[in-house]
Structure 1
Amino acid sequence: MDPGFAALIAENRWLRAQVAHRRLLDLAAGVLAAQMRMSTSDAAEHLTALAAATGLSAGDIAADVVNAVAGSDELADAVPTGRGTTAAAQITEARRARRTATEAEAASTVSEAARTLLRDGLSPYGADSLWLWQWVDHGCLRLAGYAGIGAAEAAAWQWIPPGAPGPFRAVFTEGAPVWFEEGPSRGEILPGPSAQAARALLPLFRRGKQVGLALVGWPGPTALDGTLRRALTGLLDVGGTVLDTADSVRPAVSAPVLVDVLDSLAHPAALLRFHGSTRAPTVDHLNDEAVAALGSPHGEEGAPLVRLFPLVHVELARMVRRAVGTRRTQRAARLPMPAPAGKHAPLLDLRVLPVGEERVLVLWHDVSDPGLAAARATARLQSVATFQDNLTGGGTTWSEQAYGVLGLDRDEPPLPLEAIRGRLHRDDGEVLTDLLTTLTAHQTGAQAVLRVVLPSGAVRHVRVAAEPLISGGTVTGIAGVYQDVSDSRRTEAALTATFDQLTAVHQQAETRHQLALQLQRAIVPEVPASLELPGDLTVAVRYRPATEEYRVGGDWYDVLALPSGKILVTVGDIAGHGIDSVTGMVALRNAQRALAFTGDSPRRLMGWLNEVTLRTGGGTTATAVCALYDPEDRGLLWSSAGHLPMMLLRDGRARLLDPPRDVLLGAVPSFSYREQRIGLRPGDTLLLYTDGLIERRHAGLDEGLARLAAEAERLGDREPDRLVDELLSTATGDTDDDTSLVAVRVGGGRRS
């Protein structure tokens, strides 16, 4: 609300309160002027002096003065005097009653006065309704104001003819109240919630003349003792005065059922009357929430929109005309739009509904409704639309997005779900039938994807998700959502094709891996147990493939007894994994075997193997160690091409045999490799291995070699086959590389 307008409303309320306060002060001043024979101005000053001297407010002093001069007036005596009630409490209650009466006199309408009397005067006595009728021509009673009842009930008792009912005639004839503690007598009908509810009928006087009648109601039977009767009589003594504010010709209650519906709502609502395009709409009724939200008093019937909605009356009037002209509900997330923050509170989630030919309902919130906000958020998705089919004759409603989803022009009427059959792909008619059967026959929710053929000939995939609307076991409608899923369907098709391609590639790779594995096993078979070789040598070898991703690598090993009586022991590693590395490994291993039969030294074998790698490896490189053991003198002659040093276990100690610092196979052509010789003793164990055994991602090579040496010393007395198994399980690297391990034991050592 605009701060200026809010300030005017607050000022108006303050002025109205001041009018009631001033009225009470003037009445007390008049009493003092008459009693003390002084002017009214002197009496007003005396009233102020009394307030200052007693420490009470001027309003309390004025109420005491008026109540005292009333003497035997019921209002002064209408305070409960039961056990525990003090004199001070009685005086306080009497002051409240007098202020209530004065405020009612200052009200601008009879209904406003009735609400004041009920809220501040009668409710403490358990009353929940008040009716005020005025005598008019020919002895009829016309309802002038009411509080605590619905508009429909008020409309039913708008007029009371002279002949009925009996209690009204009795009050009018005798001029005295009639009390019904347990409801009226059998056959007599009076307004009220039930036949047994307590009621009180009281005559209303103005200057000694009976001008009307009041009815006070309770929710049930109530004991109406003398104190309560005096209180009600005193409070309603002002009733004749407030009837003077009634209009000379008061219109009948407007649309009473709608008024009651609006009054039952928990959010602001207004009933407007539409006067055609030449006049602005006017207000027929505001519920209590609207009164609180707008800061307007009750009794604004007939007021123009500009008075109650000064900031949005132009936009609101436009929505009213559109609602009446199209017979469709108009909606706005907020008015005004946009609304600068902090300056005024907008009308949120506004809806304007046509009612009949002349009226519209205006509903809004002062706090955003999460459900409506979520619905608007859904509507923002261009591919999502809501719909509702009324199967009992109410037609079909769509959100605006439905036209775009189904490819219809906005001038076309919404189509029921069944009617879109003619726009579907010829193969989807049965899908729609199954969907409708599930919704209507099985009475349960369902969804399906339908292909809608657009006027251009393009096909759009639309998901329909719907729920049946059920009343009394019968499906009365269908509510649901249309969603354009064409993009996701195209994406799904593309992903399916991609997946098929990936599957084919995976199958090809799997075939290559299986082929490489079979080839590797054929060329470098695993040796499950130790080999006994000439020269009292025992050899155990193990090969562990690379991780599952690669399956096979380029490691190889060979142990071969040559015609010369010497024994070839070799280990090598080609860079890379897969079928290419396996085929390179096979070429090098076979070449080395063939060259070894020449009887030449390890350094010559390594030189020839380097040339083979350069000419057949396709740019690959490899490391290798080649050793020749002579059983005659237990001498070991060996050469290395960039490979890890061999490890010698002797007398429980492990040491590395530093190799010559020569280059990798396939790195430099015509390279001359060097060789070294070492004598072995009975009980010595020689370990040849590849880097998969010791390498770790976050540790240096020296650390891996030290760990291997420690484990070898701990396990050194094991037989070669047990030694290699336990070393593979304890001294392992973590680079996911394949591993070859060869253990050569010279006879005559310790056994376990």
Structure 2
Amino acid sequence: MTAQHPPQTSDLDPRVARLAAVVECQQQEIERLRAERDGRLLVPLAEGVLVERLGYSPGEAATHLADLAARTGISVAELAADLVAGAVRPPRSPVAVPGAAPDFARLPGGNAESSALLEEVRRTADAVAVALWQVQPDGALGLVAHTGLNLLDASRWRHLPVLMDCLPQRAARERRPHWFPEAELAPAVPLLADGHRGARAVVPVTTSRGIAGVVEFVWAAPLPDFPPEQKRRLTALAALCGREIMLSTQPAGALPSTVGLLDSALFARPRTDESGQVADFEIAQVGEDFADPHGRRAADLIGRGLTRTYPLLCAYGLAERAVEVLTTGASAQLGPIPLVARTGGTATPAMVDVRITRFLDGVRIGLTVGHDDHRLAQLLHNLQHIARLGSWEHSVLTGEMAWTEQTFELFGLPASAGPVTWDELCTYVHPDDLPILELFQTTLLAGEEAATVFRLIRPDGTHRQIRAHGEPVLSDSGELVAVRGIYQDLSAQYQSQVALNATRDRLADTEHEAQRQNRIARELQQVILPSAARPVEMDGLEVAVRYRPAEQEHKVGGDWYDATVLPDGRILLVIGDVAGHGIGAATGMIALRNALRGLAVTGAGPGQLLDWLNTTTFTVNRGVTGTALCGLYDPDSRTLTWARAGHLPPMLVRDGVAEQLPLPRGILLGARPSARFEERVLRLRPADTLILFTDGLIERRGVLLDDSLDRLAAAACHAGADVERITDQLLAEATSDTEDDSCLIVIRICPPVTSA
């Protein structure tokens, strides 16, 4: 068989040879262009590596890359290729620790990237071991990643039940870090890697929704102390572990548990048609507290389409609004929408409010169902009466005005007289406030929300200070059809009408509207919350209260307190902080304070009182959010029953030692309609001191919360036994570098009086 040899160029037809030369030239050009393209792609990647590794700005990274290429004599593209290759090269083997289990992949969901990150965190902290637990739905802690632990330790600490007393669970429950320069200073509880008796740091990993996990650092030897800079660095390293590792261990398509979707809402992902347009949404997950209006279980909802599950809500535009939210990212609201709800097999008319927000790759849909319940209606009526609120609505099309019963009471008019019309309202307003009223009405008729404060002159000649808030009502086509709102009587919040008039006259011609409202807010707070009240003795208690306003006038906030004896002999002790600043925060504070005072006479416990107060933030005082701590002290048994709504716990000083009380469950007011507030009971002893405060007393720029609390505790321990001295010293200790209002209540249990 004769061997075949490729033809030589000289043997080819000249035209074929020319064609072969052209093809070869084009192939070389293609390779050159491909190399240039790859180089252009690698240069930005290399610059990103320099930004991440060396902390350069993008401009500095580009300059540094060019300088390196010039000094080494190679092209920028070649140098970029080397840098990128080095950045993605598998990480070097971790430092060997005797008996350690360095392979993170042995844990479910683990991977080499997470192992390398945790090992890098361990080296950065100069620790011998690091462990990361994730909070499970039942409150237990599950070991997600570790480095430096032996297999026995990893197995023993794989699952930490919620009732197990150990440092990670304590950090999760108390929502604060624990720092131990040496193991002997730790409480008598089991210790991770107990073969090492050095320093330990246990840091919770937090998200906007709460505690997501806990990281523990272990050192081989004791440390002199944990300075603030080291605490900040370890806190940042713990946050890095939680963000990068816990999210990376989620299975494909699953929702990360760290986002805390387990609330009263459902999550739906879009379904697209052949053209790529969103045709429907598929329900992917249902929150633990989600209540389906038709009584269906979560298992019956997951996997179903939104239009099939809620056809009536979709007829009102639910699906279309969900597409808009997914596209624009702006939240949307629908309702109230009438439908028939089912509870326990019983069908009842209900109104549903819908709120849609973009979440991950889909939308989060919350449904709030309101039933026509006579008891609830009566409660809301009583709350409106306590808060001195009245509603109104003016039809732009017909000119008719509608008032609620409380509005007639505010104006001092009988219901038989009929409501005051839009045009007649000016005859009931103080002449000096007519421009304010005219601006209020003009703004509303222009289709915008408006709020103001004016003086009302009632038919009997008495004056009332009224806060008015209004909003436009638009048709489906966007046409203004009505304006509606509320009137609130603020007269009880002023010590006298003369003081109010003097404040208004002094500010009317010298301040802009925003400055004037802030000044009024300051006057409101100074009248309601005097800055230095004398100590009050209440049946075995000495109580001293202090309110310190913010130094900057525009920072006037909603801090408040109350201490009063109830008809049943118990003592109501309350402290709180309404979110925001200015007149809105001040009036919101007054509304909550007055409502709680009225509700407290019912004899209900602090948990129920906060439950009712939370209801008012969704019905009467919409838009108000804030924290509160409510306590009821029984002088006979010396017991304090207390609950909190997102507020800092009290600090107890006993036998010269100050410590914060454990946190009961309770989120802030106005966050969730179905919130529940856990009660705790504290039995106090003679000479005990209890300190209640708002966050303005301890929050400082650049200072860790733990350090501020330690500083407050130290000051409380050395302030003596006089409540006035304690309050003044604590307030003076916190005076520097503060930007917010501060409230402080100091309560001391009086020792029994002994006869001579």
TM (norm. structure 2) is 0.32
Larger radius of gyration: 1
TM-score by length of 1: 0.32
